[in-house]
Amino acid sequence: MSDSRPPKLIQRWENLEMGLQFLIAFIVLIPVISVLHWTALNQPLARGAVYGVFWALPAAFLISIASQNERRKRREALAAKDESGDS
């Protein structure tokens, strides 16, 4: 299944620049992580919001790094496939 192309949404995500991926992930992760702190960890609203911003920074960075790495791996695999002459 590694030979098949990923869904179009994943292709569009991986084709974004790393800075834009970081920004989108950061904006989405802030409320997600904040809600986790408010509910699962029973944090006060202000502290949970601060933790949401704090932990969204490294999480968004890791997501953007992982996305760029997957994009690079797909391109290298496609280039290797093209060089070997496989169809």
Single pTM value for the model: 0.83
What is the number of domains present in the chain?
1
pLDDT-based confidence at residue 12 (cuts at 50, 70, 90): very high
Look at residue 26 and tell me if it is in a domain: yes
What is the per-residue pLDDT for 63?
97
Look at residue 6 and tell me if it is in a domain: no
Look at residue 87 and tell me if it is in a domain: no
Q: Residues 21-48: pLDDT tens digits?
A: 999 999 999 999 999 999 999 999 999 9
Average pLDDT, the chain: 92
Look at residue 50 and tell me if it is in a domain: yes
Instruction: Indicate the burial class of 23 (C-beta count within 10 angstroms; 0-12, 13-18, 19 or more).
Output: middle
Look at residue 62 and tell me if it is in a domain: yes
Range of the domain at 56: 11-81
Look at residue 86 and tell me if it is in a domain: no
What is the per-residue pLDDT for 87?
54
Distance (Å, rounded) from C-alpha 30 to C-alpha 66? 19
**CB-CB contact of 17 with 39 (8 Å):** no
